[in-house]
A and B are shown apart, each in its own frame.
Chain A
Amino acid sequence: MENLKQQLKEQIISALNLDDLQPSDIQDDAPLFGEGLGLDSIDALELIMLLDKQYGIKIADPKEGKHIFASVSTMADYIMAHSAK
């Protein structure tokens, strides 16, 4: 699980062009959107694409992303529960 979270942070940084951030800058439970990292709706779409490309998980309704992408921890939980790979 810790490995998955670390890997996710690296993938998020790369997918969202967060070049100035290190994986250690992103806390497991800190909110990714709004008050936390401050991501927006396009980032949510990029994360949907990331789940598809890296973990084979398809999300058809972008509204679902809100809960899945709350934090790195919630993303990791979702991947563990739904990963096809």
Chain B
Amino acid sequence: MNTRIVITGIGLISAIGKGRRETLEYLLQEKTGVSSIRLLPTKQKELPVGEVPYSNEQLADLASWDINQPITRSALMGIIAAREALQQATLMQGHTKNMAFLNGTTVGGMDITETFYRDEKNKYSFLPFHETGACTTEIANALGGFKYQTTISTACSSALNAVIRGTELLQKGEYKQVLVGGTECLTRFHLNGFRSLMILDSQPCRPFSNDRNGLNLGEGAAYLVLETEQSALERGVEPLAYIAGYGNRSDAYHQTASSPDGEGAYLAMSDAVSMAKVSVSEVDYINAHGTATANNDQSEAMAIKRLFGENKPLVSSTKAFTGHTTSASGSIELAICVLCMQGGFVPANLNMNEQMPESDTLNIAKHTIKTKLRYVLCNAFAFGGNDSSVLLSSEPADLPLLKEIKRAKVVSDKMASDEADIKQYMSAMEARRLSKSMQQLYVVAMEAIKESGLKPTDIDAIICGTRFGCIDYSLQILDAILTSDESDLKPTLFMQSTHNTPASMLAIKTKNHAYNCTYSHCEKSFQDAKQDALDKIQTGMINNALVVGYDEQCEKWQDLMKNSGSEYQPQIRAIVIL
């Protein structure tokens, strides 16, 4: 009976410190880690960020990594945070071989790509590091290797989705312990990308404040050891907190904007709370996504108001401490929630000058509040409207028992065709931003759904496997940034550059609010996506799933891969499983 899933170790690194103790000090002293850019080689020095205050050499030292071996900054931070989590859970080197590792990242090795992409002498040197799966593998190998490893890449909800998937694997009884979380370093790629969307504040960010004017980016990593309560008991390890519920839903509204009523956020939080079978009045604290953009905070406030009504849990966003650590934010903030539950306090929502009208009914914690915390909700929302929420409990809490109750069956399996005609599905106006590959994906997905006898809105899960994501736009972004001295980047490119763009596009165009996830782990991306669908269907969590494989035609990338001696076979495919 694996209905009780506990957290037995946490480790983190961010702008507010390396490790639990330093992080706790910053939080309790209400001391921000956001300041001017010191390390990232960018022209955009006027933008405040939450930078981890160690150079790559210093990080390598902390990670006991030989700096002569190239490695991404995300992986270095990941190794440091993961070791701390494993140590707290008293899982020694060698033990990881029986565990699963689920890592959330989107940037992957983009820092190395930026350095070598236009270096004619070393133009292939970045290729082994570029993909998100490579970052996960670097961390996994440094920790001694895992029985299973994968990468979830759903932009800013990646790490929280890794927590959710890891929890499910424990519920199913496949593992006794899993390591889950995410890592993301600052890059010129996404700093300029967010800048092109005009949502970066040139001042320290002010979540939920009426004068908020955008977010500050941050970087960092955090991992949690999750295990079955039974395993923790057997090993004599004290649970730090229990996973009481979780939810992931699609806002199905826009690639970069949240819906005004926060539908996806509302559904995700609602799923998490109802899975735990607790009343909304029992939730003590919400660690909000709270990026401090006009749009997110308005939308999230609406969603919280809708779900909690007159019950007013304390709310704060810790992004004014850490900056928005994008793919890592979910696990960094979940780890912060655990620290708060243990320390008996709600962290401050820094820089709140004047409460915004939309949040007048929210109980925002402007300063640290000492209080006992029983149920704590942690939100992470992402581009594409990928909204996730995890509910923690300080006392034993039961999750639904997951056991196989049926066999799943693939009922349609289709490959995209070059002749795909999007016009039968949407107007030219609606299709104008979709690349040819994205149009092919939409058409093949609709054909697969049609053959299954379902309607697009009947689909219970949209899961994508992609090795390189939106590689064509990503290369165009790199070219734009690196040739224009970081001045010239089209927002239309950046809004469609994350790995979860294809799965989100399908949800948005079909108004599907169901579970939405993207796996990006080397050659087995599609396989891992399909396994997620199979697990959910076979345990009766859902009735069906659309699984797509997406690796696009891109001449430049295909040439690079071929000339470097690597394999790349673009393929767009859609299957429906019942």
B is bound to A: yes
In the assembled complex, the Cα of A41 lies from the Cα of B491 at a distance in Å of 10
Q: Are B256 and A42 in contact (CB under 8 A)?
A: yes
Return B401 CB to nearest CB of chain A, in Å: 44
Within 8 A of B (CB), among A19-72: 19-20, 37-38, 40-42, 45-46, 48-49, 53, 62
Q: Are A17 and B433 in contact (CB under 8 A)?
A: yes
Interface residue count for B (Cβ, 8 Å)? 16
Q: Are B432 and A16 in contact (CB under 8 A)?
A: yes
Chain B residues in 8 Å Cβ range of A46 = 490-492
Q: A17-B433, A40-B254 are in contact. Are A45 and B428 (CB under 8 A)?
A: no
Chain A residues in 8 Å Cβ range of B428 = 19-20
Q: Are B432 and A19 in contact (CB under 8 A)?
A: yes
Judge whether B197 is part of the interface by a CB distance below 8 angstroms. yes
B198 in complex: contacting residue of A16, A37, A45, CB < 8 Å: A45
In the complex, the chain B residue whose C-beta lies closest to that of A59 is B198
Per-residue CB contact flags for chain A residues 1-23 toward chain B (1 = under 8 Å, else 0) read 00000000000000011111000
In the assembled complex, the Cα of A20 lies from the Cα of B428 at a distance in Å of 7
Q: Are B432 and A42 in contact (CB under 8 A)?
A: no
Q: Are B198 and A62 in contact (CB under 8 A)?
A: yes
Return A28 CB to nearest CB of chain B, in Å: 20
Return A19 CB to nearest CB of chain B, in Å: 7
Judge whether B452 is part of the interface by a CB distance below 8 angstroms. no
In the assembled complex, the Cα of A24 lies from the Cα of B395 at a distance in Å of 67
Judge whether B415 is part of the interface by a CB distance below 8 angstroms. no
In the complex, the chain A residue whose C-beta lies closest to that of B295 is A41
Judge whether B257 is part of the interface by a CB distance below 8 angstroms. yes
Judge whether B196 is part of the interface by a CB distance below 8 angstroms. yes
B196 in complex: contacting residue of A16, A17, A45, CB < 8 Å: A45
Tell which of A37, A41, A62 has the most Cβ of chain B within 10 Å. A41
Q: A45-B196, A45-B198 are in contact. Are A17 and B432 (CB under 8 A)?
A: yes
In the assembled complex, the Cα of A17 lies from the Cα of B255 at a distance in Å of 17
Return B44 CB to nearest CB of chain A, in Å: 14
Chain A residues in 8 Å Cβ range of B255 = 42
In the complex, the chain B residue whose C-beta lies closest to that of A48 is B198
Chain B residues in 8 Å Cβ range of A38 = 429
Judge whether B205 is part of the interface by a CB distance below 8 angstroms. no
In the assembled complex, the Cα of A41 lies from the Cα of B492 at a distance in Å of 10
Interface residue count for A (Cβ, 8 Å)? 16
Q: Are A42 and B198 in contact (CB under 8 A)?
A: no
Return A71 CB to nearest CB of chain B, in Å: 17
Q: Are B254 and A49 in contact (CB under 8 A)?
A: no
A18 in complex: contacting residue of B197, B432, B495, CB < 8 Å: B432
Q: Are B432 and A45 in contact (CB under 8 A)?
A: no
Q: Are B197 and A45 in contact (CB under 8 A)?
A: yes
Tell which of B198, B256, B429 has the most Cβ of chain A within 10 Å. B198
Q: Are A49 and B491 in contact (CB under 8 A)?
A: yes
Chain B residues in 8 Å Cβ range of A48 = 198
B491 in complex: contacting residue of A17, A45, A53, CB < 8 Å: A45
Chain A residues in 8 Å Cβ range of B432 = 16-20
Q: A48-B198, A62-B198 are in contact. Are A42 and B429 (CB under 8 A)?
A: no
Chain B residues in 8 Å Cβ range of A18 = 429, 432
In the assembled complex, the Cα of A45 lies from the Cα of B492 at a distance in Å of 9
19 interchain pairs, CB-CB under 8 A: A17-B432, A17-B433, A18-B432, A20-B428, A20-B429, A20-B432, A37-B429, A40-B257, A41-B256, A41-B257, A42-B197, A42-B492, A45-B196, A45-B197, A46-B490, A46-B491, A49-B196, A49-B491, A62-B198
Residues of chain A touching chain B, judged by Cβ–Cβ distance below 8 Å, are 16-20, 37-38, 40-42, 45-46, 48-49, 53, 62
Additional 19 contacts, C-beta under 8 A, given A45-B198, A53-B488: A16-B432, A18-B432, A19-B432, A20-B429, A20-B432, A40-B257, A41-B254, A41-B256, A41-B257, A42-B255, A42-B256, A42-B433, A42-B491, A42-B492, A42-B495, A45-B197, A46-B492, A49-B196, A49-B491
